[in-house]
Copies of this chain bind each other. A is one copy, B any other.
Amino acid sequence: MSDLTHLDERGAARMVDVSDKDVTTRTATARGTVLLSAEAVAALRDDTLPKGDALAVARIAGIQAAKRTPDLIPLCHPLPISAVRVDLEIVDEGVHVEAAVRTTSRTGVEMEALTAVTVCALTVIDMTKAIDKHAVITDVRVAAKSGGRSGDWSEG
Contact = CB atoms under 8 A, between A and B. Distances in A.
A83 interface: yes
B60 A65 contact: no
A139 B134 CA distance: 11
A5 to B, nearest CB: 4
Contacts of A150: 133
Contacts of A68: 71-72
B123 A47 contact: no
Contacts of A6: 54, 57, 126-127
A37 B19 CA distance: 29
Given A17-B82, A68-B71, A114-B137, 5 more contacts: A3-B39, A13-B56, A53-B60, A57-B75, A75-B126
28 contacts: A2-B43, A2-B47, A2-B52, A3-B46, A3-B130, A4-B43, A4-B54, A5-B130, A6-B127, A7-B127, A8-B85, A12-B53, A13-B53, A15-B66, A15-B85, A17-B102, A32-B137, A64-B71, A64-B72, A72-B122, A73-B119, A73-B122, A73-B126, A77-B81, A78-B81, A104-B106, A136-B139, A137-B141
